[in-house]
Amino acid sequence: MKYFYLFTLFAAIISLMSCKTTTNNNMNTVYNFTALSNKGKEVNFADYKGKVLLVVNTASKCGFTPQYDGLEALYQKYKDQGLVVIGFPCDQFGHQEPGTDEQIEEFCRLNHGVTFPLMSKIEVNGEGAHPIYQWLKSQAGFAGFNPEHPLTKILDEMFTKADPDYASKPDIKWNFTKFLISREGNVVCRFEPTTEPQEMEESIEKELKKQ
């Protein structure tokens, strides 16, 4: 119990440090990357210059899958102001995204009304991690689980058992980790799965107001 309280305090501190405007001294931005859409078409992220991006690794059979609804709500509310939500399906966490790109799109559309862009399924950790996720992790490390979320204690115990030092490593911990990217193409915040979409609105609005 003592460890858990220390962990939550540490996580909160990391989260505060992580969610801030970054200065990209090496001029390496999200605009340097491409990825395949779920239709197999190459997407150049330079086409999103001037937009605020929310990049999320997703899964269809996860306890966090209902966040699709919140993500779509954010997209509908703010897309006319310049927000683009981009989903990257990934099957690296509990084999919770086993479907094809076509099956994933159908599931998202029928069950959650998703209209924001979905990319082709990728890996986000390990040697096969997509370059855009290698970059995202280099820009923002683990932000800490929300101490008030009911799943935080379970997640902490699971990851601590596998690696007591997990919180110091930038790897994506689970589905629905979210990266907020500024109009200049820089990572502004990283939000872990225990941060619900509506809890990001203040940070999103702050970025949208910047021109």
Question: Annotated active-site positions, please?
Answer: 62
> What token pair was written down for 34?
């491409």
> Within 140-193, where are the H helices?
152-162
Q: Within 13 Å and on the Cβ side, how many CA atoms surround 145?
A: 27
Residues 6+ apart with CB under 8 A from 36: 42, 43, 119, 120
> Cα–Cα distance between 116 and 72 in angstroms, integer?
7
| CB distance 84 to 48 below 8 Å | yes
47, 36 in Cβ contact below 8 A? no
DSSP state of 128: T
* Long-range CB contacts (within 8 A, 24+) of 151-155: 151/63, 151/194, 152/8, 152/11, 152/194, 153/4, 155/193, 155/194
Radius of gyration from C-alpha coordinates of the chain:
16
Instruction: Measure CA 58 to chain center.
Output: 8
User: CB count, 10 Å around CB of 198?
Assistant: 12
